[in-house]
Structure 1
């Protein structure tokens, strides 16, 4: 095991979109990063390479985050490679869209498995293994407030994530560990853009006062704040959406 005094983060879903941007941003602050992936090892390796070529430290680790052995391995890798874990950034999730009346129950169950069970598993491990002074950062969505049609299963899963986060923050009383949830608005990631026409994307972007979609880097700035200096922000859901309504 490598002994180190630097902060160490696990970023789930670190191979794409907001996860990748968060891993790069944390590394820029001097944090060592375990980059988790499920389906895209190549992109995770690209993230690791980008970090190491810039003088940082990172490793990739893969697997289904809704399975406890996979999640446990992430913490084991962080402790073996970097000496411990200070930050969990849990961005991994899925977002199939369908009106409630037409949604296949198997799809609904898969969304809850990945988004709710996955969060519960990694948060439980984080509560056991993150060092004092650490931070747990989960991900919800502004859709829980925007109430956009076709997002029923996804919004339901993310409302559960918010509830888990708020309760865990209080359960960790006396541990000096913050627990917060980031709730992005429409953000230009593959997950969001998939299946949407250019016209629809433009319409959604124009709903924002800035008249654009968010970017993964926009979201990563809030992650970096919560992962480091935001020691008095705890038990909160932070909407990062440029004022979308």
Structure 2
């Protein structure tokens, strides 16, 4: 039996983007493979968030093209879901459970009420919020809000999960707990994830590969299968980011 060739889930070919005449990203060429957890790291203003917005179809490239599973990205789609850093991305008037259920009610597959509830319960358990389903966002900590946002995104079974510094505003303990949760979710769902961070140790702990952005270009792509967060590895990436 012949092996089936694995193709990239994301292909970025010679992608450039400017805002008001100022180059933000220049000639980006990048392939991302199914099931990978990619961390994108770089200094403020280097184009990390713009990269995510281009992949998600929220903004259009000036040059080049982006393909998701071989299809050119022209606009946002349910195949690609974003989780942001801000804590106000939830519906304040909806409970945690209803926040997760809401997009499922609009799903094209027309899920039954029982299917919607079952899926919401599954992802509540996955992000360790089973006991908080009837809470409202104003009753949650920042970490719990991010867990809810993550559960809502995963409930849609996206092919690609985009995360824009989702743990950047959290205290160290909560951040560590959510990093562990993300790795557990990745193990169970095999969701392809692109995770933007400014934290070198976070990138080394989470990523299969680290994309280093500098001045709007890819400075390096680092294989990271050992997930070694020692000072030597930190120093290597710090040197790449230095002016």
TM-score, structure 1 normalization = 0.35
* More relative contact order, 1 or 2 (CA 8 Å, 6+ apart): 2
Larger strand proportion, structure 1 or 2?
A: 2
Larger helix proportion, structure 1 or 2?
A: 1
